Every structure is written in C-alpha cells, then in structure tokens.
Amino acid sequence: MSLEKLLQQKKSVILERWFDSILETYPADTRQFLKKKKNRFANPVAHEISRGIEEIFNNILKDANSEDVSPFLDKVIRIRAVQDFSPSQALGFIFDLKKLIRDELAENMGESRISEDLWELERKIDAMGLMSLDIYTKCREKLYELRVKEVKNRVGRLIERANMMCGIPEKEGDPEVCNTDNLT
Amino acid sequence: MSKVAPPEELAKVDHTPPKKGWMDMPVELKEGRWCYGSKPKDHEVIGLPNPRSWSPGDEDWKLPENWQEIFLEGMRERLDKFRSFRLFMDICVRCGACADKCHFFIGSGDPKNMPVLRAELLRSIYRGEFTTAGKILGKLAGGRKLTYEVFKDLFYYFFQCTECRRCSLFCPYGIDTAEVTMIGRELLNLLGCNIDWITGPVANCYRTGNHLGIQPHAYHSMVEFFCEEIEEITGILPEPSLNRKGAEILFITPSGDIFADPGTFTAMGYIMLFHYLEGLGLDITWSTYASEGGNFGSFTSHEMMKRLNSKMYAEAKRLGVKWIIGGECGHMWRVCNQYMDTMTGPADFLEVPKSPITGTVFENAKSHKMLHICEFTADLIKHGKLNLDLSRNDQYKLTFHDSCNPARGMGFFDEPRYVIQNVANNFHEMPIDTIREQTFCCGSGSGLNTDEFMDMRMRGAFPRANALQHVHDKHDVNMMACICAIDRATLTTLCEYWVPDVEVIGIHELIGNALILEGEKKRTMNLRGEEFPWVEEEEAEEAAAEVILEAAEEGVEAAAEEVADEEAAGEAEGEK
Amino acid sequence: MGVWVSFFAVIALVVIPLVGAQGAGQYLFGIVIPYLAVLTFVIGFIYRVVQWAKTPVPFKIPTTGGQMKSFSWIEPNPIDNPSSTGGVIVRMALEVFAFRSLFRNTRIELRDGPKLDYGSNKWLWVAALAFHYAFLVVFIRHFRLFMEPVPFFVGALESVDGFVEVGLPRLMISGVVLLLAALYLFLRRVAVPQLRYISLAADYFPLFLIIGLATSGILMRYFIRVDITSVKELVIGLVSFHPTIPKGIGVIFYIHLFLLSILIAYFPFSKLMHAGGVFFSPTRNMPNDNRARRHINPWNYPVKVHTYAEYEDEFREKMIEVGLSVEKE
C-alpha cells in the first residue's frame, strides 16, 4: 500500500492525535475547555484549529503546492500568534506531525517504499515549517504595525490638518503657513 | 552528535496541571496582558490618590503602607452603598452558566477570565475578610486574605474585563460582572492603581473637555476642516456652529469622531445631516466645553463618571438649549441611559425632546431630555424627511455590530438597523448568537483599547471576528457598521488582523453618503474621498458616448459638406 | 479537596445522630436541635433579607435582553427589556419560576454543516428545574405530617406524584427526581473541568446534605420503615409548641431530621440564600425606563467639576482668536 493510501486510512486517528498534541501546548485548564470543539461561534479557537489542521493534512496528501496550504496554516498560526506562546511554541505543532505520522506507521516502517515516500513527506513538512515561520512573522509584524497605526489614527485627522497647514506652499512666493498651535 | 532537544521538547509549553485550586495558583502577570500604569501628572490633575511612576510589571507597586486597610475600608463602604455589589458577593452559586460567555475566556482559555472566577477573585476576599464563616474556616469556606499577590491578581483581571455584560445576560440571578469590575476598579483606584490609557483621557477630558486634550481652537479647526472636505465632495460648504447660545439643541459626540479615522467620516455625516436639516428648521450647536460624549471616568469610579458627565447638562444650561442629541457612542450611552439623569439630573431646565422637523415628541426621554442620534434620524426617515440616494452606498455589503453598551445597557437594536436598511441596499446579519443582546465585544472596551494590550485584544476580538468571517465568506460582506467610537477604532484593527477585507463604518457616514443636499454637485466619491467604483465605468461610458456622438456629428457635417459641395458644383454647372 | 471535606462532613452529620439519638439524646435531636435550627433559619434569613433591603440601589442598571420601548412603530420586547412594573413582574416571574436566563443557553446553534443543534447547557436548565420543583413537591407532601386535617392539595399532589402506581407504599416520583437531579448537579461539578475548577467546598456541602436528606427519606419510606403515627405525633408536637418524644421511632428518622436541621440552619449563611437574593437583583428587577422616569440615588453627593468658567479662563485667548464666543471678553 502506498504511503498516501495509508495516511488516508489513518487520517482521522492522526488528526485526532495532532489536535490533542496541539491542545497539550495550552494550560491544562484551558485545554479542557478547548476540547469541546464543536460550535464554531461559541468555541471558535478550537473550531478553527481543528478545521485548519484537517485542511493542512489534506493538502499534504494531495501533493498541493505551497499557495494552497498557506491559507490554512495562516488560520491556525494567526490564532497562536496572539496567544501566550514563544515563536517556537507557537509553531512546534507543524513538526509534531512528523513524529505523529511515524508513530502511527510504526508497523509499516520496514517497507522500503514507505520509508522513501516518508522522507519526501517529511521534507514537505519541513517546508511547511519554514512557511509557518513567514506567516508567524507576518502576523507579529502586523500586530506591531497595527499598534503604530492605531496611535497615528487616534489623532490622524489632526496631524493631517496640522501638516496641511504646515505644508509646502503650492506656488512659489506664497507664504509658508505653519500653525503648530494646533498640536498643543 | 551534539545533543539538541527534539522539536517537540523545544516547543513544549511547561504547564503544571492545576491539581491545586485556583486560590493556590501563583499569580503571574504576563506582558501583553496588562496595560501601562497611570502617570503621576494625570493623578494630580484629577486628584487621584498615590501619584507616582509605576508599572504593573514592577515588583513593587509603591502602595501606601496601610493599603490593606484602605482597600478593605473601601470595600465595606461600597458593600453598604451598592445593593448590587453586596448581592453579587452573596448569591453566586457557581453554576457555570456564564463561564464560556466571555470573549476573553473564549479567545484565551484562561480560566480566570471566566466571569464567575473574575468575580470570585473579589468574592473570596469578601468571604475571607467580611463573613464569619470565611474568617474561621478560611479556604474551606472559599475565603482568603487580601495579600499583595491577591491584590495584583485583582488588578490584572479587572483590567482584562471590558464590562460588556454578556455574562450577566445568562446568569440566573442577573449577576453582572461589569458591576463587580466597576467596583473592583474603584477599589484599585483608592490605591492609585489605574492604567495610563484611562487616567490620561480622564485628566484630559476633565481639563479640556475631551479625551485627547484637544483645545477649543483646534476643535474648531477640525470642524472647519471637515466642512472643507465636505465642500470638496459635494460642492457645498456647511457652516456648523460651536458654543452658540440660544440654539434649540446641543449636540455631543465622542471626540474620537473628530480626530480618529474612520470616526471622522461619521462626524462629516453628522455635519451634512445637520446642514441638510437647517433648511427644515433645525437649530443645533456643538460645544467645545462638552466636546466628549465618551466617559472614561466610568472606567475609573462612579464619582469620576459623574465629574465628567456633569459637563453635559451644565453646558446645556449655559447655552440655554431645549434638549440634547448624543452621537454614536457605546459606553457614552450606557452612562447617559443608566446613570446620567440619576447622577447629574434632574434636567428640569430642559424640555422634552421634540423633533423640530417631524414634530415627534420623544416620551421615552421625557425626564432625561437627550436623544440618540439614531433615534432622531430613524424618526426623520420614517417621516420621509430625508432625500436619500441609496445607490451611493452600493459599494458596501454591510453587516451590523451591536456595541455591548447600547445592546445590554439600553436595548438599542432596531433603530440603527432601521436606519441602515433605509440608507443602503445590501445588509446581512451575523449569526444570531453573536448579535443583538448576545453580541460579542470588540475586545477593547472599558478603556482597554490601548496598543500595548494588543495581543490580548486580538484574542478577545476573535469571537467577533469569527462571526464576521462567516458573513464575509457567505455574503461577501465588506463593511461592518457600528454605533460606537471605540468600535470604529478597534474594530478596524480587529478586521485588519482577522478579516482583512472588511472595513468599519459609522451609521451617519452612510447617511452622509446617501443624503442628497440641495444644490450639490454630482458626487464622484464617498466621504472617505475614494472614488465610487462605478465612476470610472460611467466616465468611460460617457467618454465612449461622446466619441460616438462626435463621430456622428462629424459624419453629419461631412455629409452636409459633401451635399453643399455637390450643390455648389451643380449650381456652378447650371450657371455654365 | 472541597469535595472530600464536604463528603466527610456530611458523613459525620449522619453518624452523630446515629450514635447520639438514644434515650435522652432523642430530646436533643428530636426537639432542641430542630427548634434551634428553625430559630437560626428565621433570624438568619430575615437578617440577610433586611440587610439587602437596607442597602440602597443607587442606579437603575437592568440588563437589557431585548429591544427597548421607543417608537410606536418599533416592536419592543416588554419582558426582556421591560419598560413598566408589569413587565418587570413578568420578567421576574419567568426568572423565578422558569429560570429563563438559564434557558437562554438552549438557543438553537449553527454547527458544522447544515445541522442545527441545541446548546449543551440545556441540561443545566432541565436539572435545575427538576431539582427545585421536586424539592417543592417533596416539601408540600410533608405537610401531611404537620397538619391535621391534611389539606386537600396534599392529597391531590400525592396522587399526581405517585402516578406510576408501583410499590407499596406507592412510589413518589418527586423523591426520586430530587435525588437524581442532585446527583446530576454533583456529577456535573466533578466531571466538567471548568466547573471542578470553580467549585468550592461550599458548593459540594449543600449538595451532599440534600442527597443525604433525600436518601434517608427514601430509605425511611420504602425500606427501613418507621412508625408514621409516632412521627406525626412528634412533628405536630413541634409545630404546636407542645413537643413530645413518642417511643419507638427508628434512628433513621433522627438522621433525616438532623440533616434537615443542619440544612435549614446552614441556609442563611450560604449561597442557598440565592432563593431570597434573586428577588433583589437590580439587573433583573428594574424597568429600563431611566430616560423617562428619574431614579433617585439616596446618597448622591456633589462632586468637584471643572466648570465652564475655569475652562474659559484657561483658553479664552485661543477661543477668541478663532472666533468662538466667550462669556467674558
């Protein structure tokens, strides 16, 4: 049996384990709450994570290119980027998948074809790990950007107004108007 | 080979499972989950106790020596002054109905963000210090002593509550965590422990009339600026008045609308509406002294709420107006609806609000004498007084976010919806358990909309964002309307992080877009100065039509010339 | 920890009368303790209620769960957002008799796919209702013991309660429901992690007490029979203030009575006071009519404000500069 078929067969088990291992990264009391992942609106964190990892897994199986996986990685990572995790903790779940798959396929490891395919698969997971790093960084950058943006927006119009009045004169010879009083 | 820990080890989060009860868990203040500490200069302006430089991250918070005594005395006093507080300390049965209703709990999973546990933080002190059973049995009776650690925990979690009241809706006894948080914060304030983003605006508002500390001439300048922008868009220059005595109505809106995008576009909408109505008999003035609808004092203490709110009636009295209109703002309306008349009333120098345009008398505000602008506008629309071109909002596929305070502190649901549906063509509701009275908070209310709190805010915003994502996917919604100044600022951030294709809009910006002013020029852009998407198309069409027309004209001319030539030739021939 | 402490506390409360309700001890458990318990209950309950009633309600802060009353052409929700006393009465009645706020949890929810589902907390509402109503029925049934003649409604209630017509004496459903509901409420606290996390000894103790009370009652009625005539004699003696201790009442009765005594004596000092407290809740028992009718805060006091005059003094020149009118030129 090919690796792909095997994984297809064990998909639900692997996903279950993967989800559990992600939950392991949360404090025990939080974990218990997240376990009830059913309702999209009442428990969006767990819902999005479980949906996200399922799509990631599907994409690995069907040999998709990176653009296809990226939105689903984004879904999961975007959440973890604002929770109390260090970058390695936030992204570790990608690499967990390697171990989970190997554990699950322990009995098939002898078959040479499987181990070759597995090598390929693990390279894919590594690539995903790198992509995740990009996504995570973008999320964090976004947050800092938003922080700055908010501070600017808060008095955005005022600054615009002040700048306008302080702006470069349109025609040569016009007096330069500069009313800095506006900002005091 | 060198010994590097395998990735699953590296990425491991060290969590000792809480075998112990929550009272025994060590208190840990994590950065990104607390806001900066209040500054001494602001303490001095408004007379808050214990002015000093400090940070919640510090080991030593520089509390006065007898801090426990002050705190407990404050608690005793409030137990005797607020039935709500005493009752909520007494009757919780910890049924857990509220547990998963808090957006911070849903987004973070931190058990102390369950409303019940947030309140238990204070309740445990109540039991430990004020009840006999708690004093004798201690932890067994759910009581504990007020220690430094416990005090820090209180600060940490009372400034992780947005006072949105969602939990109180589900409580079988109506226990309102917002009320507990409000009083909890009052107690923290007794020791000078507040956050910079609250005391700063409070001090500003006290001195200059608004949260940003904008002085009257700058406020005036901003209003002027909006008028110029409106002129650019419509060709009409409105002339709103400020601090004008003898006007019939005083208008007060949060200062965020004047200075912060995208609230500024809402402010332009107000100005346009008032200009439009002037011809129909509206006589309204703005004020620079009462230039803040919002009330960050309400995030500090009841007393501070009153000190800031007092300006509204005082200014109404000074200007001699008959009644007041309040702008689109969330916590402003919680204060105006549930506190203002009691605190600073009776407003017997004002008259029962009566729309000068429709003649409607607003009996529901007959004591308070203040109308929500959406009530006012809904009434205008109902009476067909507004000339609206809905197609100018066609670029928006809208949904509506119920702001917590007008929702659960007022019950203001259908008026804003009525306005939206009469001013725009595309409107879709978010899922039922995330709107109206069950609405999810933006995650940044009650003075927590500061940038250093960003991680926590985004966590708290996730339940709202998730529901928004749903309508975005399903109906292609690209604009979320709201009636709250904090929302306009914070939902914008929320969208940009979680649902980047959606923007945020105030209801009166939609009005401003659709309203047909008398004598206006053909509009090509919305209030944001963005060209309507169809303008280019129309222009191209017009250009094409012109080309055809020109070609046709040229054709006719050419033919006529030919005819003329022929005729001339004929004539010439005939002459020969 | 709380669970075990509470559990052993209740076990101890069973053992005490088991050992002590002999000979003269019966006077203690049959007369003295019940009287003391009732006295504690009455005084404690009144004290708590008076304390709440005495504490002022400075602000009118109802939680609004529906559309407010505004225009004639917008339909208000008179129950979840009452604008009148009538609405408040209906809201409170639904809250007290039907646990309406708990019921809110059972809203239909949209889940994965097109499936509609009910929220998990429906069970809390069902169990809470079952528990409280079963308790009420059991309580009313006990009227048979201290009223002579037995009021008609007790008989009527019993015939409904015993509709299954099994066993001798006839099985009363209410007792079983009470026990099962209390067990559910207990198991829920142990099994749901969030609840286990927030639960205190004070949450387990009354549950164990009630489970013990119900169990001893059921044992007494169906398994370890006691002489019902003597029991009635004792109870009527207590009620009519001519207490006597008839001979030959089994010890199980004293256990039952002692657990009851503890429960009612404990009542005013515990969360069980929610029974009285719910009526005082300002987020539920007030109409949302602040803007139409002014609410008075009895301790409203003047505060320091920044007056317009002070404001103008600070900014006068700048105001004049941009043409804003001022009071003093």
Calculate the alpha carbon distances from B273 to B232, B250, B278, C187 in Å: 16, 15, 9, 60
Chain B residues within an 8 Å CB radius of C292:
363-368
CB nearest to C99's CB, from B140, B172, B216: B172
Chains contacting C (3 or more CB pairs within 8 Å): A, B
CB contacts, 8 Å: C318 with chain A: 181
Percent helix, strand, coil in chain C (nearest 5)?
A: 65, 0, 35
| Residue B318: C-alpha distances to residues B16, B210, B249, B290, B401 (Å) | 62, 18, 12, 11, 36
Q: Which of A82, A157, A184 sits opposite B458 (nearest CB)?
A: A82
Average pLDDT over residues C69-76: 94
Question: What residues contact residue B191 under an 8 Å CB cut-off, 6+ apart?
Answer: B49, B50, B63, B64, B67, B70, B71, B151
Strand partners, B325: B251, B371
Neighboring chain B residues of C325 at a CB cutoff of 8 Å: 243-245
Residues 131-170, chain A: which have Cβ within 8 Å of B?
A: 139, 142-143, 146-151, 153-158, 161
> Tell me, what's the pLDDT at B166?
94
What is the pLDDT of chain A when averaged over all its residues? Answer: 80
Q: How far is residue C241 from each of residues A167, C31, C256, C272, measured CA to CA in Å?
A: 95, 10, 20, 28
- Partner C contacted by B220 (CB < 8 A): yes
Give the whole-angstrom CA distance, residue A147 versus residue B454.
Answer: 7
The answer to whether residue A177 neighbours chain B at the CB level (below 8 Å) is no
Neighbouring-strand partners of residue B249: B284, B323
Name the residue in chain A with its Cα closest to that of B495.
Answer: A146
Burial of B469 (0-12, 13-18, 19+ CB in 10 A): buried
Question: Which residues on A lie below 8 Å from C120 (Cβ)?
Answer: 36
The pLDDT tens digits for A52-65 are 999 999 888 877 67
Nearest to B408 among C59, C64, C197 (CB): C64
Closest CA to B145 of B119, B127, B120: B127
User: Chains that contact A by 3+ CB pairs under 8 Å?
Assistant: B, C
Name residues 236-265 of chain B within 8 A of A (Cβ).
256, 258-261, 264
C274 touches chain B (CB under 8 A): yes
Query: Is the CB of C291 less than 8 angstroms away from the CB of B341?
Result: yes
Confirm if B445 and B407 have CB atoms less than 8 A apart: no
Q: Checking DSSP bridges between strand B249-252 and strand B284-286, what pairing results, if any?
A: parallel
Paired sense of beta strands B398-400 and B284-286, if any? unpaired
Single-letter residue type at C288: N
CA–centroid distance for B201 within its chain: 15
* C-alpha distance from A32 to closest chain C C-alpha (Å): 6
Is B451's CB within 8 Å of A151's CB?
Answer: yes
Mutation site, C106, C108, C111, C122, interface A, largest A CB count within 10 A: C111
The Cα of C155 is separated from the nearest Cα of chain B by a number of Å equal to 33
Residues shown for chain A: 184
C-alpha span between A127 and A135 (Å, rounded): 13
Judging contacts by C-beta atoms under 8 Å, the chain A residues touching residue C119 are 39, 42
Mean pLDDT of C110-136: 71
Q: Which residue has the tokens 């926590």?
A: B456
Q: Is B138 on the interface with C (CB under 8 A)?
A: no
Q: Is B343 near chain C, with CB under 8 Å?
A: yes
pLDDT at residue C189 above 80? yes
- Asked if A180 is an interface residue toward chain C (Cβ–Cβ < 8 A), one would say no
Pull the structure tokens for residue B522. Answer: 């053909």
Q: Quick one: pLDDT at residue A36?
A: 67
Chain B residue with the nearest C-alpha to that of A77: B498
* Shortest Cα distance, chain C CAs vs residue B463, angstroms: 14
Please name each of the domains of chain C with its CATH number.
2-321 (1.20.950.20)
pLDDT exceeds cutoff 90 at C214:
yes
> Nearest 5°: CA angle at C306, between C304 and C307?
110
Kindly state whether C49 is in contact with chain B, defined as any CB-CB distance less than 8 angstroms: no
Distance from CA of A150 to the nearest CA of C (A): 29
Confidence of residue A167 (pLDDT cuts 50, 70, 90): very low
Give C122's pLDDT tier (boundaries 50, 70, 90): confident
Q: Can you read off the two tokens belonging to residue B520? A: 């206006």
Chain-centroid distance, C-alpha B241: 25
**Continuous segment of H or E residues that includes residue B370:** strand B370-372
Minimum distance, in Å, between the CA of residue C209 and any CA atom of chain B: 16
User: Mutate which of C194, C199, C318 to disrupt the A interface (most A C-beta within 10 Å)?
Assistant: C194
Tell me whether B358 touches chain C (CB under 8 Å): no
Q: Are B143 and B128 in contact (CB under 8 A)?
A: yes
**Whether pLDDT at C117 is above 70:** no
Q: Which of B172, B220, B368 sits opposite C324 (nearest CB)?
A: B220
Token pair recorded at residue B127: 């039991």
Question: Is the Cβ pair A44, B106 closer than 8 Å?
Answer: yes
The CA distance from C209 to C130, in Å, is: 17
pLDDT for position A183 = 40
pLDDT (tens, 9 = 90+) of chain B, 576 residues, equals 456 666 556 555 544 445 677 887 778 888 888 999 999 999 999 999 999 999 999 999 999 999 999 999 999 999 999 999 999 999 999 998 888 889 998 888 888 899 999 999 999 999 999 988 888 888 888 899 999 999 999 999 999 999 999 999 999 999 999 999 999 999 999 999 999 999 999 999 999 888 888 899 999 999 999 999 999 999 999 999 999 999 999 999 999 899 888 999 999 999 999 999 999 999 999 999 999 999 999 999 999 999 999 999 999 999 999 999 999 999 999 999 999 999 998 999 999 999 999 999 999 999 999 999 999 999 999 999 999 999 999 999 999 999 999 999 999 999 999 999 999 999 999 988 889 999 999 999 999 999 999 999 999 999 999 899 999 999 999 999 999 999 999 999 999 999 999 999 999 999 999 999 999 999 999 999 999 988 888 888 888 888 888 777 777 667 666 666 666 665 555 554
Is the CB of residue B341 less than 8 Å from the CB of residue B420? no
Query: Of the candidates B30, B33, B109, which has its C-beta nearest A26's C-beta?
Result: B109
Nearest to B364 among C202, C291, C296 (CB): C291
CB contact under 8 A, C193 and A32: yes
Other C-beta atoms closer than 10 Å to the C-beta of A94 total: 25
Q: Could you say which residues from 423 to 452 on chain B have a Cβ atom under 8 Å away from some Cβ of chain C? A: 431-433, 436-438
Contact A42 C318 (CB under 8 A): no
B259/B489 Cα distance (integer angstroms) = 11
Q: Return the SS3 of B253.
A: coil
CA atoms of B460 and B472, how far apart (whole Å): 19
What is the residue whose two structure tokens read 């006719």? Answer: B556
Task: Report the half-sphere exposure of B90 (CA within 13 A, side-chain side).
Answer: 25
Chain B CB within 8 Å of residue A48 CB: yes
Determine contact: C286 vs chain B, CB below 8 A: no
**Residue C327 pLDDT exceeds 80:** yes
Query: Quick check: A9 pLDDT over 60?
Result: yes
Domains of chain A as residue ranges with CATH: 3-139 (1.10.490)
3-state secondary structure B555-569: HHHHHHHHHHHHHHH
Q: What percent of chain C lies above the pLDDT cut of 70? A: 94
| A to B CB pairs, distance under 8 Å | 153
Asked if C322 and B220 come within 8 Å (Cβ–Cβ), the reply is: yes
pLDDT the model gives residue B4: 62
Residues of B with CB below 8 A from A95's CB? 7-8, 11
Distance from CA of C7 to the nearest CA of B (A): 13
CB B200 within 8 A of CB B36: no
Q: Reduced to 3 states, what is the DSSP secondary structure of residue B88?
A: helix
Give the number of other CB atoms < 10 A from CB of residue C300: 15
How far, in whole angstroms, is CA B154 from its chain's centroid?
Answer: 25
Predicted confidence at residue B47, as pLDDT, reads: 92
Report pLDDT digits (tens) over C251-281: 999 999 999 999 999 999 999 999 999 999 9
Tokens of C148: 């002579």
Chain B residues lying within 8 Å of A181, measured CB to CB: 217-218
Q: Tell me which of B106-110, C34-38, C43-47, C186-190 is least confident.
A: B106-110
CB pair distance less than 8 Å for B337 and C290: yes
User: Per the CB < 8 Å rule, is B310 touching C192?
Assistant: no
Query: Does residue A172 have a pLDDT over 60?
Result: no
B81 with C299: Cβ contact below 8 A: yes
Domains of chain B, by residue range, sit at 20-194, 200-514
pLDDT value, residue B6: 63
Q: In terms of pLDDT, which residue wins out, C87 or B569?
A: C87
This prediction's pTM: 0.89
Note whether B312 and B252 are within 8 A (CB).
yes
What's the CATH fold of domain B20-194?
A: Fumarate Reductase Iron-sulfur Protein; Chain B, domain 2 (1.10.1060)
What's residue B7's pLDDT? 57
Cis preceding-peptide flag for C62 (omega within 30 of 0): no
Residue A184 reports pLDDT greater than 60: no
Query: Is C197 in Cβ contact with A42 (below 8 Å)?
Result: no
Higher pLDDT, C120 or C86: C86
